[in-house]
Structure 1
């Protein structure tokens, strides 16, 4: 059964009609319409999430497959026929391709269900970019009735050549923390700063002080990142600012380092209060756990990839990424593995994720769907 053209068309349909995290209603309906046409039963959960199950001819194990479905608040600049029709919203991270790959695999597996021993659970998950989609899906039963023995996920990758697959053992992506800080001072005329408490000066001192946490409080062999990417405050050029807000992120791979950084940031805010006479408050949230692939499942996927793609087309990834991925939440519940699908063919298909010109070599998608089918059948054999 050749469904190459259908898979590419699915990707283009989804790409053309992107929706932001938590708003994927049309995308969910589109996925449901495809599943219905394949004769696969499905269920809507977590408002815009869809799960579907293919039950084999015989009882056996259950394997889960996850695809994220949300887009980003980015204005697309690609000059293609399937360019986003929703201005300011774009599939700039490849989730449209993930939907296409998994729907393609669903159609292929549905046609072979008589030879499947066990069942396949498809999880079409919203809100990966807002980092709450996986948790909502899990809480709404995505991993129940039956609970899968393993779960697999994949992500298109612009730095791996098309026709190749990327495998990573162990730590693959970092834990994600989000920090919201508010510094309150006292307003005054810019010519009389001694009558106020300058929140901008205090915020500047704080941002400078946190730069030493990684270099002086964390062991040099540990990976960690602290970034404050947004700062807002001030009314006019001649007014002492009385409030500044900062938003940042912390990335780590183990709980000890995570706790050290949180404690240090909060302690430095206390020091800023004493030094500058301001009031500081912080909302420090642990958003996602680190994505750590299960060794045994990774070994299985590695072997399957070499069998299907050929050994020379399997890239072993040595270093983890400081990026985050909420697939990690599934791995807190069941064993699993997250893989990269190479989609780089030329300059146009090599732009990084979240780029206004992000695009992929679509010819990699049908083969990826066939690989998912192969790995499912191998696991349930």
Structure 2
């Protein structure tokens, strides 16, 4: 049950929708990579200041924190990430990325726009609630560094410890739908770089080489057996080789190959088992190939499991269902994607309740048609695809409504006069 009725705050949404849609298109056209989000951060700071928030830029390098104190009451943290990806956009949209090789392929531009919209509505409706809002705009989520950087930059000491952490992620669900799962909701990630060393030679004389291309190819195939043969049927893990690079020319056998491996797990036990198996296989294939130098395995980045607090999910989902309709709320189950928002909930002296949900960004008719045809995975672009482009109107409406409603579910009632 919500502490404060959200209806009055949401009445202001129609008046700001066009401005928010224009902001979204502008952000989408000007994506910035992790820790390079200077233009985006400046626009966030400008808008949040105009809404009446006390704004601190440069938190954790390029992060922005907007604070609104409104009397005694709970402190609610609302978070959005805002970095883009090194992806070449192929949507063909009139507002497609103008930055070559960089795209908002994960929807972080939508996250920023929705949070700014919610901050505006909450500021305008401050007569209806009491407490403190922390609007957290986080950089570098894609590299798993941004949340940690903000925490390490004295986040709690400078802005206080929130009573709840709330956030959302746009996803290939029908627009208007929200998905929330209690417990382990997003997977832990371990990203590894593996260098395998061979011995170079002319392509016509493979007998003079120790071929790292063959070594790497064998390793890729063997890694596929970890999930199928070393993880129990009731457990979940994903092992993906996202990059394999070796050589410069067809008739030259190189002396080195590089793999980049991405691992998703939900429990410490499975994580330990998978990491050990990767190391064993990589080293074993090198030995089998006769490599004279042991492979190097280094960490690229790592995300912890995002563990949604069950009570926080129940409270938040009840409020959302009362506003958008319980029939529009689903439990998507554990998601194999990863998120670093959990650092804001687990890095304080006490564990802070976290509720992080998905909201849909795809035309419902397109989803229904693809599901009927059995072509959903083929026809509906997912996050990180060069074709990923949330519908603007209904997606913004849902995202702003969800954040505003969720915040009011945790804030206090009208301030005493």
TM-score range, shorter chain: over 0.9
Q: 2: distance between equivalents of 1:82 and 1:240?
A: 44
The 3-state SS of whatever aligns with 2:228 is helix
Establish whether residue 371 from structure 1 lines up as the match of residue 386 from structure 2. Answer: no
- Give the corresponding residue for 1:380: 411
Match of 1:362 in 2: 392
> Where do residues 87-236 of structure 1 align in structure 2 (5 Å cutoff)?
87-144=100-157, 145-159=159-173, 161-236=174-249
Cα deviation, 1:98-139, whole Å, max 9, x if unaligned, reads 111111111111122344321010100111122211111221
Moved over 4 A (4+): 346-350
Corresponding position: 1:310 with 2:341: no
Distance 1:219 1:38, change over 3 A: same
Distance 1:270 1:72, change over 3 A: closer
1:36 is aligned, of 33, 49, 54, to: 49
For residues 286 and 402 of structure 2, what CA distance do their matches in structure 1 show? 57
Q: Is residue 34–residue 103 contact of structure 1 (8 Å, CA) maintained in 2?
A: yes
Moved more, 10-19 or 363-372: 363-372
Aligned to 1:331: 345
SS at match of 1:63: strand
Q: In structure 1, list runs of 5 or more residues that go unmatched.
A: none
Q: Distance in 1 between matches of 2:30 and 2:98?
A: 6
Distance change >3 Å, CA 232–CA 329, structure 1 → 2: same
Change (3 A) 1:149 1:275: same
In 1, Cα distance between equivalents of 2:299 and 2:343: 19
The DSSP-based 3-state class of the residue aligned with 2:121 is: helix
Q: Distance in 1 between matches of 2:383 and 2:202?
A: 45
TM-score between the two structures when normalised by the length of structure 2: 0.85
Aligned Cα root-mean-square deviation (Å): 2.1
Cα distance, 1:30 vs structure 2: 0.5
Query: SS of the counterpart of 1:361?
Result: coil
- SS of residue paired to 2:87: coil
Q: Verify the 8 A CA contact 1:55 1:113 in the aligned structure 2.
A: no
Richer in strand (by share): 1
